[in-house]
Structure 1
């Protein structure tokens, strides 16, 4: 019986999505040997098509901006919110934090392949159709790997970055999974040929609409540059239990309960199978050790409402690769202090707003008629992805600051309108 082949690298990266591609590019540019293991073949469908401007910094650092700008994706400059006929938008160029104020709305199959192909063109070794089946962390990490032809081998590495997204490879193999502290929610989604003729519809912004009777049910509409949109609805499973018919019929029945969307999408037709995703909010007991780090969704996923997933993935890639570069330069790295804590600070800022969205506090702020421009700029920075900017009071002290604005909004609404003199 022949021995299982063994290989070696400095950093093994599990997953070639945005987190993995950015991390691999940054490490390769620093002269660190990386090997990327991707279970699927690209292109492959992925949900989460609305990027945030903060992402552009990491794409630029990885040397991928030119390829992205030439790809023809839909330009994005903000987010629009609508509830019961009330409409408000956030212009990401009018924000508190310095940095890019525009980005793109992308079909992820093409976007993820573009990043991975650009990393490969830079010299990164990506193996598609290769799955990690076991891991040994007793000494130098060893990964057992099987390719899509059934061939097996072992890979020894100094360090492992898990960028496997919802596959959550290391959390599953190392029993790191822990229940999320967010209530379970379910999304139903598809891509549509949108047929939108309304001249007032702004294709440069994601549109988030709220159900007219249930504030915890919301819809996303993300325009692409080819006349299509990503369309989805999010609700707690109990809210969706009574829905009848196929997933596509359920989705469009819910869309038709929101008058603005019903009118906007009166000519829309689905162009891919409608799918559902539930129980996606997740967390872990350990984000990193001196042998591995979890990036993006492999570590924690909150909720799709503010499109934070890709931003958190890229931010985690930047933090982890910075730690690894310092490690290979002979510096001492404290993975809790240098990676886990700073990453968690930004994630917790997003968490503040996710929780406040569903309990209605943040919706009250968004749809307030009398908004302070400076406060709106600070909140806009967070919606644009700059949840790690500690100079922003709404980042540094997110819960207290948000509750303060919620109270001000409530006071304005409860104050009687003065009689004309």
Structure 2
């Protein structure tokens, strides 16, 4: 006779299980803990761990403040950021986020995500949030109360039964995969090749203009406006560098990733000059087909946060902003549900969240079809319109008082006609 396997331990008496300890998971955990809810965060990896998406938007600072994490971030020594600069051939324009239409923070940071994400998770843990690292969710059962099957860091299986699940697993997309919620994005299939560099820019100039370390630099390929580059300062001599385009536009497979990236960089004369002495500090990586969507964002048993639900495109650095905004909105609904209210997750979470996501989507699509690039590089912008555009670039995509948010497609097309 075979000995029967021991029944896995089941943890109960838990209000919320959060899958993932990235920015949305840490902030959601903090906000729920502040409201007296019992939270466990399950994180597959050990922190610090590399993640792409280093350029925060000023809108994020509100959610860090709400989660009592702003002081820790302000004191961490991250690279200051006050705007975004765009370059195409000999055209250069920049946006100072303090000169925006929407009230709220106007500055933020560029961050190495390994350290930033660990700082947020450590701050949540100091506040009392339990985070379990090196653990993997392998199954989910929603027939009764949400129940997760988890393999711990020692390879042992246990179960957690909770009142609610939040998926903050980012590109891991745990619940979309386990519950078969994934559906294709309507955005084109693009790839990003990226690395970190010691830039050695020193006093190099492009068009007699020194490199502004307080801004992300977005450079458009001179021959193909579908291809663009990011250069994100991470400190006095370090940058995150990446190129984005449809895979067939990023060169042949005979080159290494490093060869592909530097070959593309050398096709953009401004970047070629700035980065003539750059040294690559970490192995180049590629993110393919990153745009994602789902059939369901939330029910009365689970909600998807940030990239676990939908990821658009890195062009306006909206990923962390959407992650933090979703954490704030979902936890507000969840606290009310746990306190006995009936919540309509579609009308109270999914639709309000998607209003901002769809605003970003309008400008992402218009970036690639050229309309928004025409607005960005227009050489005589109306100051009020520039402030409205600046608000969106600063992450305030939920501000319905901004006409470029409230009727994004219609108003954008009006501005495009004026610029053209």
TM-score by length of 1: 0.96
Q: Given the alignment of the two structures, is residue 296 of structure 1 paired with residue 299 of structure 2, yes or no?
A: no
Superimposed CA distance per residue, residues 161-207 of structure 1 (whole angstroms, 9 cap, x where no aligned partner) = 00000000000000000011001000000000010123611000000
d(CA) in 2 for partners of 1:122 and 1:309? Answer: 25
Specify which of 182, 185, 207 is matched with residue 180 of structure 1. 185
- In structure 1, the residue corresponding to 2:104 is in which secondary structure? coil
The answer to whether the 8 Å contact 1:72/1:225 transfers is no
- In structure 2, the residue corresponding to 1:132 is in which secondary structure? strand
Specify which of 96, 104, 113 is matched with residue 101 of structure 2. 96
Partner of 2:78: 73
Partner of 2:411: 401
Q: Given the alignment of the two structures, is residue 320 of structure 1 paired with residue 338 of structure 2, yes or no?
A: no
- Unaligned runs of 5+ residues in structure 1 are 411-421
Which aligned pairs between 1:46-65 and structure 2 lie closer than 5 A?
46-65=51-70
The answer to whether the 8 Å contact 1:210/1:217 transfers is yes
Partner of 1:417: none
Report runs of 4+ in structure 1 exceeding 6 Å deviation: none
Partner of 1:362: 372
d(CA) in 1 for partners of 2:230 and 2:270? Answer: 12
Partner of 2:90: 85
Q: Given the alignment of the two structures, is residue 162 of structure 1 paired with residue 167 of structure 2, yes or no?
A: yes
Partner of 2:211: 201
Which aligned pairs between 1:17-28 and structure 2 lie closer than 5 A?
17-28=22-33
Partner of 2:153: 148
* Residues 1:137 and 1:184: Cα distance change in structure 2 (over 3 Å): same
d(CA) in 2 for partners of 1:174 and 1:226? Answer: 45
- In structure 2, the residue corresponding to 1:63 is in which secondary structure? coil
The answer to whether the 8 Å contact 2:250/2:264 transfers is no
- In structure 1, the residue corresponding to 2:131 is in which secondary structure? strand
Q: Given the alignment of the two structures, is residue 378 of structure 1 paired with residue 388 of structure 2, yes or no?
A: yes
d(CA) in 1 for partners of 2:161 and 2:152? Answer: 16
- Once the two structures are overlaid, the 10-residue window that deviates more, 339-348 or 192-201, is 192-201
Partner of 1:43: 48
Partner of 1:5: 9
d(CA) in 2 for partners of 1:72 and 1:138? Answer: 47
d(CA) in 1 for partners of 2:280 and 2:253? Answer: 18
TM-score by length of 2: 0.97
The answer to whether the 8 Å contact 2:306/2:324 transfers is yes
Specify which of 191, 199, 215 is matched with residue 196 of structure 2. 191
d(CA) in 2 for partners of 1:146 and 1:112? Answer: 23
Deviation of 1:226 (Å): 4.5
- In structure 2, the residue corresponding to 1:305 is in which secondary structure? helix
The answer to whether the 8 Å contact 2:24/2:326 transfers is yes
Which aligned pairs between 1:223-262 and structure 2 lie closer than 5 A?
223-242=233-252, 244-262=254-272
